[in-house]
Amino acid sequence: MLANGKIPDLWCEAGVVGEVKNLIGSGWGPKQLLSYMRQCDQQWPEYEWQGVLTQGEPELTPAASNAIGELPERYRSRITVWSVARTGKLGRPRAVQL
């Protein structure tokens, strides 16, 4: 748990924090990640925190893309977006950067 009471889905002591959604949207995902990154920057200023947004759908919606684009540049430039999906019914999951 972060000092502000938030609990990110992903957190690594090496300076990575992330949020996982079935589908990243304009109102869920990007703003949460921004909050986590700001808090981590305050708590652990020795790192330049990297943000990871992960979703289960193969494509990012235009609304989600716009929401990410509206984040402050100093944070937006440190965020990567991933899709994790299976290839076929019994296929292995794979991650693709969006």
pLDDT in tens, 39-93: 999 999 999 999 999 999 988 999 999 999 999 999 999 999 999 876 666 667 7
Cα distance between residue 44 and residue 39, in whole Å: 8
Cα distance between residue 30 and residue 72, in whole Å: 11
Domain range summary for the chain, segments of one domain joined by +? 10-97
pLDDT at 98: 78
Q: pTM for the complete prediction? A: 0.88
